[in-house]
Amino acid sequence: MDKLLTSPILLLLLPFSIATSQVNIEVAFPNLSFTRPVDLQHSPDGSDRLFVVRQQGYIYVFENDPEVTQTTLFLDIHNRVNYGGEKGLLGLAFHPDYASNGYFFVNYTASGPLRTVVSRFQVTADDPDVGDDLSEQIIIEINQPFTNHNG
């Protein structure tokens, strides 16, 4: 009886042969460089733009083209963001009707007291490549008693 119970366990412990494959990594945008990027989002409005979120409190927008050489500062809220370690501007999401209303949402860590903030912003009326930093509508604030795990 012991042999019958032991055999299935031994079968589970046998080493497995794992097929390996080669992975190639390519730099998608060789002419661009970002400090502390934490998020990359594709614009849902059909414009084929990409948005890079930098932990310090900046969002940049650029064309989804491997040859692109310039970015545009889309949103600057660095004066509201407490960054470093696991804190900072940590996320970006677009409203389902972004193409018509220009709403987007961000998640960032703020000070006084230390807290997570989720806010809605809107693009400026005259330029879809610029978010209006004065349009902030705070959705929720959650106090963070510690400096880690604030995302």
Quote the tokens at residue 120.
Answer: 């809605």
Return phi, psi of residue 8, to 5°: -65, -35
Our count of domains for the chain comes to 1
For residues 92 and 56, give the distance between their C-alpha atoms in angstroms, rounded to a whole number.
14
Report yes or no on 10 lying in a domain: no
Per-residue pLDDT of the chain (151 residues; tens, 9 = 90+): 444 444 444 444 445 445 567 888 889 999 999 999 999 999 999 999 999 999 999 999 999 999 999 999 999 999 999 999 999 999 999 999 999 999 999 999 999 999 999 999 999 999 999 999 999 999 999 999 888 776 6
**The pLDDT of residue 93:** 98
Domain around 44: 28-143
Q: Which residues contact 34 (CB under 8 A, 6 or more apart)?
A: 52, 54, 60
CA distance 3 to 112: 66
Q: What is the pLDDT of residue 150?
A: 63
Q: What is the pTM of this model?
A: 0.83
Cα gap 102→131, rounded to integer Å: 9
In a domain, 150, yes or no: no
CB 63 within 8 A of CB 49: yes
47 within domain boundaries = yes
Rounded CA separation 123/131 (Å): 4
CA contacts within 13 A on the Cβ side of 43: 23
- Asked if the structure places residue 118 within a domain, the reply is yes
Look at residue 110 and tell me if it is in a domain. yes
